[in-house]
């Protein structure tokens, strides 16, 4: 059995390139679709005022992203002071990942149909672009999980990127709402 190619050349480099191009393709396709859609501000999956429900789902997704990071650190034995993970931990990681993704779908569908991709202000532009990027990064992570013989840094990078993007999405939406429709200054 050959060792994984970590030098950036060979089959793993091509596989990483393919996964990266697919991720970019997904993000660009969502961006283009969002720019082409005629926003329907009356559309809502969440009642007359969708923002509270979407903010709650985004907050739950942020919490699940934190759990995902902790579980991944535990699985790879990078969690300080933690013993080896028991058998159910990888399954719990997969289930919470699926739940996290499932929570984002109705929010994303609402955003795409009701608003499209807008670039009207820095907050809205960052949120729109991060939303498109999230689904591209998610596609990449799923492919990385099922790929063998890739560099050891690829999967943690994809998972960490997803967690950061969820943080950005939450900050530019739910926190904005919870903070009286303004972003807190640091």
Helix (H) or strand (E) holding 48: none
Please say whether the dihedral angle defined by the alpha carbons of residues 20, 22, 27 and 29, taken in this order, is positive or negative: positive
Spatial contact of 178 and 52, defined as CB atoms under 8 Å apart? no
Query: Residue 5: what pLDDT?
Result: 44
Query: Residue 148: what pLDDT?
Result: 78
Residues 6+ apart with CB under 8 A from 158: 137, 140, 141, 144
Query: Residue 138: what pLDDT?
Result: 94
Query: Residue 60: what pLDDT?
Result: 97
Distance of CA 154 to CAs 10, 107, 137, 161, Å?
15, 28, 12, 11
Q: pLDDT averaged over consecutive 10-residue blocks of the chain (186 residues)?
A: 50 90 96 95 90 97 96 91 91 95 95 95 96 95 87 91 96 97 86
Query: Residue 147: what pLDDT?
Result: 84
Could you tell me the pTM of the whole model? 0.89
Sketch the domain layout of the chain as residue ranges. 56-178
Query: Residue 4: what pLDDT?
Result: 47
Query: Residue 55: what pLDDT?
Result: 97
């Amino acid at each position: 059995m050959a060792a994984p190619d970590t030098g950036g050349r060979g089959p793993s480099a091509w596989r990483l390139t393919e996964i990266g191009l697919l991720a970019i393709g997904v993000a660009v396709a969502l961006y283009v679709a969002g720019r082409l859609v005629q926003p329907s501000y009356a559309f809502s999956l969440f009642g007359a005022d969708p923002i509270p429900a979407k903010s709650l789902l985004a907050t739950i997704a942020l919490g699940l992203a934190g759990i995902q990071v902790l579980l991944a650190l535990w699985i790879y034995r990078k969690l300080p002071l933690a013993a080896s993970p028991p058998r159910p931990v990888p399954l719990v990681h997969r289930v919470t990942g699926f739940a996290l993704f499932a929570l984002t779908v109705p929010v994303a569908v609402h955003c795409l149909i009701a608003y499209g991709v807008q670039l009207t202000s820095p907050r809205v532009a960052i949120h729109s672009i991060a939303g498109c990027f999230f689904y591209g990064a998610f596609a990449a992570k799923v492919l990385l999980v099922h790929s063998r013989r890739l560099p050891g840094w690829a999967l943690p990078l994809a998972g960490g990127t997803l967690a950061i993007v969820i943080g950005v999405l939450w900050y530019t939406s739910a926190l904005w709402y919870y903070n009286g429709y303004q972003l807190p200054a640091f």
